[in-house]
Amino acid sequence: MSNIEQLVKGESLDDIVTVFALIKAPPYLDMMINRYKPGTIRHGELQLTYTRLFEKGVLEKGEMGLAKKGPNWKAPKFVTENRYG
């Protein structure tokens, strides 16, 4: 099992988006998550997650379709614990 597959299967959608929205555009995240956890984003959950994280100040609008860290951005545990790296 690849690190990405383990991450997608083992972490919350909020945590995945908090990190990957900084380096990947929404269509890529959609594809990545759908590949390993298909039921997760069938009903607009990815868009709802983006909206929620923007409203909470975790993410802000960045450039070229990417988000940037908002004032309330905090690295998820899987990042600080270096679980998949």
Domains in the chain: boundaries: 3-68
Amino acid at 24: K
pLDDT one digit per residue (tens) for the chain, 85 residues: 799 999 999 999 999 999 999 999 999 999 999 999 887 777 788 999 999 999 999 999 999 999 999 999 999 999 999 999 7
Could you tell me where the DSSP H helices lie in the chain?
3-10, 13-20, 26-36, 45-55, 77-80
Residue 41: the pLDDT is 76
Structural contact between residues 13 and 33, judged by C-beta atoms closer than 8 angstroms: yes
Reduce the DSSP state of residue 36 to 3 states and report it: helix
